[in-house]
Chain A
Amino acid sequence: QKEVEQNSGPLSVPEGAIASLNCTYSDRGSQSFFWYRQYSGKSPELIMSIYSNGDKEDGRFTAQLNKASQYVSLLIRDSQPSDSATYLCAVRATFLAGSARQLTFGSGTQLTVLP
C-alpha cells in the first residue's frame, strides 16, 4: 500500500515569514511529485510539479525533492494571508501499471498565515 504522509497541522506562521510544508512517501517507485493548494470549499489547484532531485522555484514557492530520503517539501516565502489554505502533496509511480500508477494524495496540511 503506497502512502503519502503529511503533517495535518494546523500550521500557523506570521505574515512575511517562510512556511515549510513537508511530505514523505513510502513507494520508492514514485517519480512525479505535485503540490496542490485547496481553499476551503474549493477544488485543488496545482501549484508546483517536480520530477528531479533538488529545488525548483516558481515565484514565492520552492519545491524540494529528495528521492533517497523519500521526502518532498514546499516552501512559501513572504507568506501572505491569501496563502491560508490546505496544501496537498501528491505522488505518482510512473513505471507501474494500473491504479498503482495514479496520483496518490496525502491528507493535506492546513496552513494559516496570520496578519
Chain B
Amino acid sequence: DAEITQSPRHKITETGRQVTLACHQTWNHNNMFWYRQDLGHGLRLIHYSYGVQDTNKGEVSDGYSVSRSNTEDLPLTLESAASSQTSVYFCASSENKDTEAFFGQGTRLTVV
C-alpha cells in the first residue's frame, strides 16, 4: 500500500545543532508539506512543495529549510536548532493543490 513515512519518530538534540527530519511518500504525489503542532497553536505550515525543485515558505518558516530533489522525499532541516523548535513535526502530501492532505506518523523533536 502507498504510504507516507517519517523518520526518526523521536529525536533529542542540542541547541545549535543541525537536524534533518526525513519524509518519504510512495503515492507519487507532487504536493508535500511540513507542519509543526504545538499546544494552543494547532497545525502550522512550515514549508511546502508543489513538485521537484519547487519549495515555498509557509507561515512559520524561519529557521527551517527544505529541498525537493525527487517526487518521493521532502527532508526538513533545522539549520541551528533552538528550544523554541521543540515540537511535533508532521509531513503530509496531497494528490493536487485543492484536495485533502494525508499525514505521516509524526516526529517528536526535543531541543535541549
Write the residues of chain A forming the contact surface with B, with a CB cutoff of 8 angstroms.
4, 31-32, 34, 42-46, 49, 88, 90, 92, 94, 98-99, 101-103, 105-108
Task: Assess the A106–B42 pair: CB atoms within 8 A.
Answer: yes
Task: Assess the B56–A99 pair: CB atoms within 8 A.
Answer: yes
Which of B70-112 touch A at CB < 8 Å? 90, 97-106
**Complex contacts, A98 vs chain B, CB 8 Å:** 56
Q: Tell me the smallest distance from the CB of B52 to a CB of chain A, in Å.
A: 19
Task: Assess the A43–B100 pair: CB atoms within 8 A.
Answer: no
Q: Closest residue of chain B to A8, judged by CB?
A: B40
Q: Is B45 an interface residue (CB 8 A)?
A: yes
**Which 5 pairs, one residue from A and one from B, show the smallest C-beta to C-beta distance?**
A107-B42, A105-B43, A43-B103, A105-B42, A46-B100
Q: Is the interface of A mostly helix, strand, loop or mixed?
A: mixed
Looking at the complex, which one of B48, B102, B105 makes contact with A99 (CB distance below 8 Å)? B48
**Complex contacts, A45 vs chain B, CB 8 Å:** 103
Q: Is B58 an interface residue (CB 8 A)?
A: yes
Q: A107-B40, A107-B41 are in contact. Are A102 and B33 (CB under 8 A)?
A: yes
Task: Assess the A88–B42 pair: CB atoms within 8 A.
Answer: yes
**Complex contacts, B1 vs chain A, CB 8 Å:** none
Looking at the complex, which one of B35, B40, B48, B100 makes contact with A34 (CB distance below 8 Å)? B100
Measured in the bound complex, the distance between the Cα atoms of B101 and A90 in whole Å is 10
**Complex contacts, A99 vs chain B, CB 8 Å:** 45, 48, 56-59
Q: A49-B100, A99-B48, A101-B97 are in contact. Are A88 and B105 (CB under 8 A)?
A: no
**Complex contacts, B33 vs chain A, CB 8 Å:** 102-103
Measured in the bound complex, the distance between the Cα atoms of B101 and A45 in whole Å is 9
Which of B31-69 touch A at CB < 8 Å? 33, 35, 40-45, 48, 56-59
**Complex contacts, A32 vs chain B, CB 8 Å:** 98-99
